Amino acid sequence: MTDLVQLLVAGLATGAIYALVAVGFTLLWQTSQTINFAQGEFVMVPAFFVLAAMKFGGASFPVALLLGLIASLLVLGVLFKKLLVDPMIRHGVLPLVISTIALALFLKEGVKEFYAADAQPFPALWATTNITVVGAVIALQNLVIIGVAIAAIAALQWFLAATRTGRSMQATAQNPLLARILGIRVERMILYTFLINAGLVALASVLISPIYLAKFSNGETLGLVAFIAAIVGGFNQVRGAIAGGLLLGVLDNLVAAYVSTQYRGAIPLFLLIAVILFRPQGLLGRAEERSV
Amino acid sequence: MSAVLEVRDLKKSFGGISAVGGVSFEVHAGEILGIIGPNGSGKSTLFNCILGQLQPSSGEVRIDGKPITGMRPCDLNRLGVSRTFQLLQVFPQLSVRENLILAGQEHQGSMGSRLLGRRDAGLTPAANRMIDFFRLASVADEKAGRLSYGQQKLLDAAMAFMAGPRLVLLDEPAGGVNPTMLADLRERLRTINAREKATFVVIEHNMEFVMSLCTRILVLAEGRLIAQGAPEAVRRDPRVIEAYFGN
Amino acid sequence: MTRARNLSRAIAALAVCAVLVAAPFGLKPYGIYLLSLWAVMTIAAMGLNLTLGYAGQISLAQAAFVGIGAYTAAILTTQGWPFALAFLLSAALCFAIGWLLGYPALRVQHHYLAFVTLAFTTLVFLVLRNEEWLTRGIYGISGIPRPDVLGWSTGAPRDYYFFCLGMLGLVTLATGWLVRSPWGRAFMALRENPIRAASLGVDTRRYTLIAFALGSALGGIAGALYAPLVQFIDPTPFALGLSLNLLLMVIVGGSGFFFGPFLGALVSVLLPEWLRFTEGLYLLIYAAFVMALMAFCPSGLLGIAERLFRPAAKTDDPPALRARKTAP
Amino acid sequence: MKFHIGTAAVSVLASAVWLGAASAQAQQTVNMPDVVELSGPGAVSGTNWRDGVTLAVDELNAKGGILGRKIVTTHSDTQSNPGISRAQVQKALDGDPYVILGPIFSGSVKVNMVLAQQAEVPQFTGAEAADITQAGNPYIFRTSFGQQASMPKIANYIRDGVKAKSVALVWVNNDFGKGGRDNFAREMAARGIKVTVDISTESGQVDFAADVVKVKSANADAVFVYTNEEESARFLREARKQGIRVPLIGETTLLNQKVIELAGDAANGVRGHVGLSADVPVAAIQAFKDKFIKRFNYSPDHNAIKGYTAVHAIRYVTEKIGKFDRKLLAKTLHGLTITPQMEPGILIETTWDDKGDIDRISFLAEVVDGKQRITQTLPKLGK
């Protein structure tokens, strides 16, 4: 029982991170048909922005966090869109997939060559104390992660649904042409989604780095699981991504604990294949009309 | 005359909204049947249901009395039913000749012979005849993607005839084609109809084109058959006028 | 025009063959090894080019098939089976598995398919690593023998290079025949417009499965040649990285161009050598190069070549990329 | 199309010429190529090794090299891939080297030690997998304990020091961890100590909650953790969080300064065996560590020491035999003991046996408030 609670909380914490990353991933897909194979690296990089600001810029941690966020928005948001996505989007999906794959390699190697090849400790945002619930020891960090992630996504949901800009963004996602006719500044809306994605990954980065440590290769698995979460949950649904993320996080822990550690990596993949074959729109997703 | 194509009480609805609400008709060997109707009257849906692109909600489609409802498009085509699409559907990266050979190759020999046999599946002469017939000789080796719209339209039609089909369904063949070429196209269709004894069903907006081409006309409105008969009769039919111009 | 082109083509082809045959005599074992590796990788990339470039089905599973092929060959030959038999079995096995993997492709497209195949690669890696009784797990299989072909021992680097080159030659001829046959035409139709293809009697379902199976079989063949080349295999080289790498080879060379994989594999195999002077930075440079290429000429190096030498043919999207837009 | 073929032809030629040109050596130098993991999973170890080698080479060249010849060392990247490593070692051999340094991944070593053997070139590897020196290859030399040497030490410690009757085993499922795990399990069986739970973890794994839960529910007398640096740190944190009371035992890596730095307080109380590490209280090693940090501004791990000492050992033996003779080098090194008096760069007295395995003193240590403290020094096996 206590074990179960233990596993659930840990799983939810990890899952919350997957969710954050997956949400950004789906946003990009919806508004600009960008499948970002570098999404995992996007989570890895901001932590190093922060570390670099402290190491080279001699900034204090809070300042460094701010600088890191700004850098993320600029590099992973604006530059990513302007330099990589915009020139390529007209060629269709595949070239963009290819260059995000290359981008992932680029970011990894860049961090390895110019910062460090080994894992770096990352300052915690809050006291690393534990609390005990029905015998299970739960790190405050985990609860904060879950809380912040859910809050962030809820805020995003609200923004998309309730604000003018948010609705314009959704319109852009559903039918750019019509949106343009309706006088929505589509280009700007798309840019917003890229900024939001950058913000989400930066948030994920500072949330996990204190626990998972900052390392150039951290993105590899994270990005992959985030994709899977997005697809399993429902590619065209923000809440789908959340569900997918949490589900995978919990599942991973339960499988490792009660089934097999050697094949823990396989379970999300089976889930992915099953979902794609039997419910391509995802567990919570809407089916998209596909006809001639 | 026996019916080449029989449609019985065909219904198709998308999530409650009925696009085709119980349509029945027959097409006889050698005739050129036109189907007209205002936008959203269900013409294209009807087509796609007949041709297996969409699953009809209910009803039956027969070719030569043989039920083919829900048959895969490729098998249907092998039975000698071919079609053109409302929007251009050529293979832009293949040359005109390759497009035509492709249109015929699956009707030749077996999978094995298509791998090990001749590269053109013996269709070059047929393709060249088709090219001459549609006056595409000047661009025969160009990639289809580089042809003018009108030329692509001709190629599109030519592909439909490549396998010598018994029944051809043409979805707005006249769409976006300039008048001179239109007359040309009409002539070609007539000739083929006469020469190959091919049966045509034509969906068209262009009244003049339909009236001058077809031997019989069906009028569709809101997914139902509201009138049919010879071009002149239909032209005068008040229900048709109402359907088009409302009141 | 065609006769003149064919002639010069033949001459160029002969020139290349001459170079490939002469090369090992001017090279040290290292160079020969790299060229052998190039030949093997080219075969794998040709397989992917068939699936992706011609039939328009994106697949990230090629590494898995190279792995399956390599392990089949390694396990059987170290058990004393004749290479020829192991070789054929590798190809057959990959053909069968590839056929099965094709079924998802009938249901889903684009990124969905990419992720199914990606998942498959990772699953195969896990099996190779965890099923020690079969694959010796992380320890890998060593002492893989190089074959004797009709009494000709390919043990020495140069001999084995010629063996790989011969295989590459055969595969090239076979694939060349295939893509020019009605099958190849049907593949391209599948890539450019499956709906229209179906309406012309092309059995899209069957051709999709065939495309997957054949592409995978070539992957298996590459694997069966890779194992005796390195003479040791463990699961690590057959992880997702190789799939991505092969994908890059096809795209960089020019997806849908018959000779694209040759060039792509050449770049990917020799780049570290060319960029030696940059110390650790060559991966960075490669990545930057790929991104630039995608931005300016997504049809790959051969696309550039076409642009340069045939201004008439204004290179727009490469065939493989254009596909998706008309797909349902 | 012809142009395409043309392009290909040209590039093949170009590359051919290039490869031919590559690896030409000037006369009055000695060629000691280094083939190691600089990218991929092995990048961290490989980078340390490379920098250790670089440091040693530069020191020696500053003092005039070996027998008056400057050392030329090119570093090539195996990408942690056996296939590539074979290529790179082949290339090194084509350059007619005096010795070959690296690689570290035993998979890679298994591929190419055969090549070095055929070419009769001594190879100094950082690999620790047991079977490498079992094949009777007279040209392979370790630079640290093989797992077959270190695991008995840790096993004895668990039996006599910790007095554990049962142990939970956590290992990383890669080239390094699997070998250690198998040797460890064997030693446990030999000493009648029960392995209650055997948990494989992924390299790069971040969430160890499930693994720690399993360890807890196995309630063994001790936990043996054999994973790479950052995974070790993450595991320790999770273990501390879930309040594991039983002793956490490690072999070298777990007590590594890097792990302590990453795990923070969670590392306190960790005990185990330390073969070679930059943290042992030996003046020479501390001096090396300072030099290293000063030069590369990061803290070296044992792989850096492996590379550093290897180069110095080669220097010593070569000048001992007075000429550049590969066979003689290999022959002399077998059964040779080098002490810091003879060769300061060896850092600790080291003996190579007839199989190329290494023998050194080693240490039992414990992490006390963020520092590794040596509790006992284990004698060389030989004595």
For residue A250, what is the nearest residue in chain D, using CA coordinates? D210
How high is the mean pLDDT of chain B?
Answer: 87
Number of Cβ atoms within 10 Å of the Cβ of B18: 16
pTM of this prediction?
0.91
Q: D98-154 pLDDT, tens per residue? A: 999 989 988 889 888 989 999 999 999 999 888 889 888 999 999 998 888 899 999
D238: Cα separation from own chain's centroid: 27
- Best residue in A36, A105, A108 to probe C by mutation, most C CBs within 10 Å? A105
Q: Which two tokens stand for residue D71?
A: 């050392």
Query: Closest approach of chain C CAs to the CA of A172, in angstroms?
Result: 19
Percent helix, strand, coil in chain C, to 5, is 80, 0, 20
Q: Which among A50, C164, A119 is positioned nearest to D298, based on CA atoms?
A: A119
Write out chain C residues lying below 8 Å of A106, CB-based: 284, 287-288, 291
- DSSP annotation of A120 reads B
Nearest to A92 among C114, C118, C321 (CB): C321
Predicted confidence (pLDDT) at residue C3 exceeds the cutoff of 80: no
- DSSP annotation of A214 reads B
For residues B48 and B170, give the distance between their C-alpha atoms in angstroms, rounded to a whole number. Answer: 11
- Chains contacting C (3 or more CB pairs within 8 Å): A, B, D
For residues A258 and A255, give the distance between their C-alpha atoms in angstroms, rounded to a whole number. Answer: 5
Q: C149-206 pLDDT, tens per residue? A: 888 999 899 999 999 999 999 999 999 999 999 999 999 999 999 889 999 999 999 9
Write out chain A residues lying below 8 Å of D209, CB-based: 6-7, 10-11, 253
User: Amino acid letter at C92?
Assistant: A
- Is the backbone peptide bond immediately before B238 cis, with ω within 30 degrees of 0? no
Yes or no, beta carbons of A213 and D262 under 8 Å apart: yes
Q: Which residue has the higher pLDDT, B115 or C96?
A: C96
Q: Does C180 touch chain B (CB under 8 A)?
A: yes
For residue B105, what is the nearest residue in chain C, using CA coordinates? C182
Prediction ipTM score: 0.89
Which has the minimum average pLDDT: A45-49, C266-270, D312-316?
C266-270
For residues C303 and C287, give the distance between their C-alpha atoms in angstroms, rounded to a whole number. Answer: 19
Please say whether the beta carbons of D228 and D172 come within 8 A. yes
- Best residue in C1, C185, C325 to probe B by mutation, most B CBs within 10 Å? C185
Q: A23-67 pLDDT, tens per residue? A: 998 888 888 888 899 999 999 999 999 999 999 988 899 999 999
Count of CA atoms in the C-beta half-sphere (13 A) of D293: 8
**Residue D15 forms part of a structural domain:** no
Yes or no, beta carbons of C199 and B77 under 8 Å apart: yes
> What is residue C87's predicted lDDT score, i.e. its pLDDT?
96
Please say whether the beta carbons of C176 and B81 come within 8 A. no
Q: How many domains does chain D have?
A: 2
Query: Closest approach of chain D CAs to the CA of C321, in angstroms?
Result: 20
Q: Does B54 touch chain A (CB under 8 A)?
A: yes
- Best residue in B91, B155, B167 to probe C by mutation, most C CBs within 10 Å? B91
Q: D197-234 pLDDT, tens per residue? A: 999 999 888 889 999 999 998 989 999 999 988 899 99
Yes or no, beta carbons of A95 and C119 under 8 Å apart: no
For residues A237 and A282, give the distance between their C-alpha atoms in angstroms, rounded to a whole number. Answer: 9
Q: Which among A228, A64, B100, D19 is positioned nearest to C119, based on CA atoms?
A: A228
Write out chain C residues lying below 8 Å of B94, CB-based: 185, 188-189, 192
What is the domain-level CATH number for residue D109? 3.40.50.2300
3-state secondary structure of D163: coil
- DSSP annotation of B26 reads E
Q: Which among C297, C229, C222, C235 is positioned nearest to C261, based on CA atoms?
A: C222
For residue B89, what is the nearest residue in chain C, using CA coordinates? C196
Q: Does B53 touch chain A (CB under 8 A)?
A: yes
Count of CA atoms in the C-beta half-sphere (13 A) of C187: 29
Query: Closest approach of chain B CAs to the CA of A119, in angstroms?
Result: 50
Residues D136 and D67 in one domain: yes
Predicted confidence (pLDDT) at residue C279 exceeds the cutoff of 90: no
Please say whether the beta carbons of D224 and D198 come within 8 A. no
Query: What would you report as the CA-atom Rg of chain A, rounded to the nearest whole angstrom?
Result: 19
**Residue D257 forms part of a structural domain:** yes
Percent helix, strand, coil in chain A, to 5, is 75, 5, 25
For residue B51, what is the nearest residue in chain A, using CA coordinates? A292
Dihedrals φ, ψ of B3, to 5°?
A: -85, 125
Q: Does C288 touch chain A (CB under 8 A)?
A: yes
Residues D120 and D192 in one domain: no
- Chains contacting A (3 or more CB pairs within 8 Å): B, C, D
Query: Closest approach of chain A CAs to the CA of B112, in angstroms?
Result: 31
Domain ranges of chain A: 2-278
DSSP of D77-139, one letter per residue? E-TT-HHHHHHHHHHHHHT--S-EE---SHHHHHHHHHHHHHTT--EEE----GGGGGG--TT
Residues D102 and D171 in one domain: no
For residues D273 and D253, give the distance between their C-alpha atoms in angstroms, rounded to a whole number. Answer: 9
DSSP of D7-34, one letter per residue? HHHHHHHHHHHHHHHSS---TTEEE--E
Nearest to A212 among D43, D47, D206 (CB): D206
Domain ranges of chain C: 27-238
Residues D219 and D120 in one domain: no
Please say whether the beta carbons of B59 and B9 come within 8 A. yes
CATH of A2-278, one of 1.25.40, 1.10.1610, 1.10.3470, 1.10.730: 1.10.3470
- Chains contacting B (3 or more CB pairs within 8 Å): A, C
Yes or no, beta carbons of D262 and A112 under 8 Å apart: no
Domain that residue D255 falls in:
148-274+363-378
Please say whether the beta carbons of C253 and C302 come within 8 A. yes
Nearest to A99 among C283, C286, C294 (CB): C294
Which has the minimum average pLDDT: A165-179, C93-107, D1-15, D261-275?
D1-15
Write out chain D residues lying below 8 Å of C254, CB-based: 4
Residues D201 and D347 in one domain: no
Predicted confidence (pLDDT) at residue C110 exceeds the cutoff of 90: no
Q: B224-241 pLDDT, tens per residue? A: 888 888 888 888 888 887
**Residue D94 forms part of a structural domain:** yes
Angle at the Cα of C168 from the Cα atoms of C163 and C169, rounded to 5 degrees: 95
Q: D329-374 pLDDT, tens per residue? A: 999 999 999 999 999 999 999 999 999 999 999 999 999 998 888 8
